[in-house]
Chains A and B, each alone.
Chain A
Amino acid sequence: MSFWDKLRGRRIPSSREIAKERLQLVLVHDRTNISPGLLQTLKDELITVISRHIEIDREGVEITFTQGKRYNRLVADIPVLGTRRRKS
């Protein structure tokens, strides 16, 4: 969905768009041989390790695979709670 479509409000994506999105996602897993299950394991272990040292929002953790031109990227988005500015 393009930026303008989003701006116009919610829109039902065409089956073509759904197909493209699903394909892109499934191919990332096919090409790297990293299954959604492995991604979940990575996520769980990352949460465990990081929680040992800093306070994080476990529910907000997102591990995604993105495709770049030359490399695939494993992106971990981990909301950190410990550094949040506290009201005194």
Chain B
Amino acid sequence: MPARVITITSGKGGVGKTTATANLGVALALLGQRVVTIDADIGLRNLDVVMGLENRIVYDIVNVVEGVCRLRQALVKDKRLAELYLLPAAQTRDKSAVGPEDMVQVCEQMRNDYDFVLIDSPAGIEQGFRNAIAPADEVLIVTTPEVSAVRDADRIIGLIEAKEKGPARLIINRIKPDMVKRGDMLDTSDVMEILAIDLIGIVPEDEAIIISTNKGVPVALDVTGQAGLAFHNIAHRLLGEDVPFMTIKDTSGFLGRFARFVRS
């Protein structure tokens, strides 16, 4: 079966697109899928550091498009997983170095050799976004439960519908259960009601994400953490499995109060 090309986008920056791309890549590869992640954020590449592969880059996507190297030469093999690869963005060029047609061509070259091509889109709705979306068969939209992120997600949903990319699916990232409980954060149902698209995953706020980015070791390599588990659930759903949405644990609840009681 030819590879499914899935673009991960959001509109707003800093909501977790790159983290989601890296972890879905890892989770799918752990499930035996052959995966390539593409960093489409030319000039501001980061997927390499999140995956911990920054020291192995020789060529990048602009080199491939300009014919400086072959695609195979530019693919960086993951340190830990045999069937996970990264196609890095160029750091010293800008978005205009690659066009939507180039992206389609690069992805076509990978169709027969892999199961999934995950494209990490840059923020915004300009050329970088258009490049990232051009080859997509499916789109995942990442948002956080904040007014600005949800608004931008709505805008992106409109743009994707206009491009007839099929129904986009939503990942709600960085949910803080204690804030939801206090009535100080939009909950999953609020966001779903507002955006009216299918949900593919909810990911709790997890300090392990920052630690994992510090180290260049994606959380999905380990399924014991909440965020790691959330990304694994999304990977299973991408493979068509019906996985119930996790209940996000509130760590400020009984145990937190108990700890405070003990200390006092």
Contact = CB atoms under 8 A, between A and B. Distances in A.
Given A16-B184, A17-B183, A20-B194, A30 B155 contact: yes
B184 A14 contact: yes
B111 interface: no
B150 interface: yes
Contacts, number: 38
Interface in A17-37: 17, 19-20, 22-24, 26-27, 30-31
Interface residues of B, number: 16
Contact of A27 (B146, B151, B180, B183): B151
Contacts of A24: 194
B234 to A, nearest CB: 24
A27 B194 contact: yes
Contact of A23 (B151, B155, B185): B151
The A contact surface, by secondary structure, is: helix
Interface string B185-196: 111001000100
Contact of B147 (A14, A17, A23): A23
24 contacts: A14-B184, A15-B183, A16-B180, A16-B183, A16-B184, A16-B185, A16-B186, A16-B187, A17-B183, A19-B146, A19-B147, A19-B186, A19-B190, A20-B190, A22-B147, A23-B147, A23-B151, A23-B194, A24-B194, A26-B147, A26-B151, A27-B151, A30-B151, A31-B154
